[in-house]
Amino acid sequence: MAEVLIVAEHDGATLNASTARCVSCAEEIAGDQVDIAVFADDGQALAAQAAKLAGVRTVLLIERAENAHPVAAVLAPQLAALATNYSHVLGPSTTFGKDLMPRTAALLGVGQLSDIMAVESPYRFKRPIYAGNAIVTVEANTGATLVATVRTASYGQTGSGGAAAIERRETDASIPAHTRFVELRTASDGSRPDLQSATKIVSGGRGVGSGENFALIYDLAEKLGAAVGASRAAVDAGYVANDLQVGQTGKIVAPDLYIAIGISGAIQHLTGIKDAGTIVAINKDEDAPIFDVADIGLVTDLFTAVPELTDALGD
């Protein structure tokens, strides 16, 4: 029987939505045999949030001072120690999970599967390669613990209303002191929806032209209650901070509505938006590759169209 342990992602106060997405994937692997591990220094409230996720059997709470920040070298030995009771250990394919899961797998002496996008059986999965230009079906040996990351854009969040038991756990894992968290610099002020859980995203590219011009993108996003994203070109040009980047090496998003403005549509960007419900493209270059994937395309100058669109959307 498959039993899954999911490592919870959080910021110390709130559980990240990626955790509820991992539960949806885990249920396809192991039904109701799904536990969540919460590593924190003060994690009772976080554990309570995890316990409410539908489909979770038990929440394991591992509290120690070293767990205040998500340092992979600190968490991996603890997660590896807990993993021995499970057939599968899952984390989200966010920067948190990508950092932690391979280290955990190597400590267990096993490989790791990245970016599960579909579960065909407890040991057979689909995952993207070549920036999503190909999908491989992979079969894993049943004899080894399966450590994997879940491509969060492929799964919805499990519901709330669960009432899992919370159990405190201690591990005898030895924790290295060679990796030290210094600080987290966040550009976003938290007033805008998070890119990876937003239902609407307005994204700007190099065509927006400057950081000041990004006000056009923010104004439209404000009107729609949308998150703001950007292409790599816009981030490289310094228009916006790196945490807004959508694409192969940035964030993979799955909103209902994705509005790409002044984005040409490099293949690495398209990889990040393939799961969007409806893609709208506004670009003055009618040959831009973004129009190949757009559900609704508008060939026009963004500097007149975007303010017009913002106005047209009412109050």
Partner 1 sequence: MQRILVCLKRVVDYNVRVRLKPDGSGVVLDGVKMSINPFDEIALEEALRIRERGEVEEVVVASIGTSDSQQQLRTGLAMGADRAVLVETDAQLEPLTVARTLLALVDRENPDLVLLGKQAIDADNNQTAQMLAALWQRPHAVFVSELSIDGAAATAVREVDAGLEVVEVDLPAVVSSDLRLNEPRYVKLPEIMKAKKKLLETIAFAELGIDATSQFSVVSTDPPPERAQGIRVDSVEALVAELKSRGLVDG
Touching partner 1, residues 204-223 (CB under 8 A): none
Query: Does residue 285 bind partner 1 (CB under 8 A)?
Result: no
* End-to-end Cα distance, the chain: 54
- Our CA dihedral for 213, 274, 158, 3, rounded to 10 degrees, sits at -130
Q: Which two tokens stand for residue 26?
A: 């885990």
Classify burial at 282, counting beta carbons within 10 Å of its beta carbon; exposed 0-12, middle 13-18, buried 19 or more.
Answer: buried
**Closest approach of partner 1 to the CB of residue 66, in Å:** 14
Binding mask 229-248 for partner 1 (x = CB under 8 A): ---x--xx----xxx----x
Name which position in 102, 122, 193, 229 contacts partner 1 (CB under 8 A): 102
Binding mask 175-194 for partner 1 (x = CB under 8 A): -x-xxxxxxxxxxx------
**Closest approach of partner 1 to the CB of residue 162, in Å:** 25
Name which position in 48, 54, 73, 237 contacts partner 1 (CB under 8 A): 73
How many residues of this chain bind partner 1 (CB under 8 A)? 88
Q: Name residues contacting partner 1, limited to 151-170 (CB under 8 A).
A: none
Q: Name residues contacting partner 1, limited to 13-72 (CB under 8 A).
A: 71-72
Query: Does residue 106 bind partner 1 (CB under 8 A)?
Result: yes
Q: Are 77 and 119 a contacting pair, CB within 8 Å?
A: no
CA-based Rg of the chain, rounded to a whole angstrom?
A: 21
Exposure on the CB side of residue 49, measured as CA atoms within 13 A? 16
CA distance 163 to 55: 9
**Closest approach of partner 1 to the CB of residue 219, in Å:** 14
**Closest approach of partner 1 to the CB of residue 26, in Å:** 19
Neighbour tally for 218: CB within 10 Å: 16
Q: Name residues contacting partner 1, limited to 260-279 (CB under 8 A).
A: 267, 274, 277-279
Q: Which two tokens stand for residue 158?
A: 């499990």
Query: Does residue 121 bind partner 1 (CB under 8 A)?
Result: no
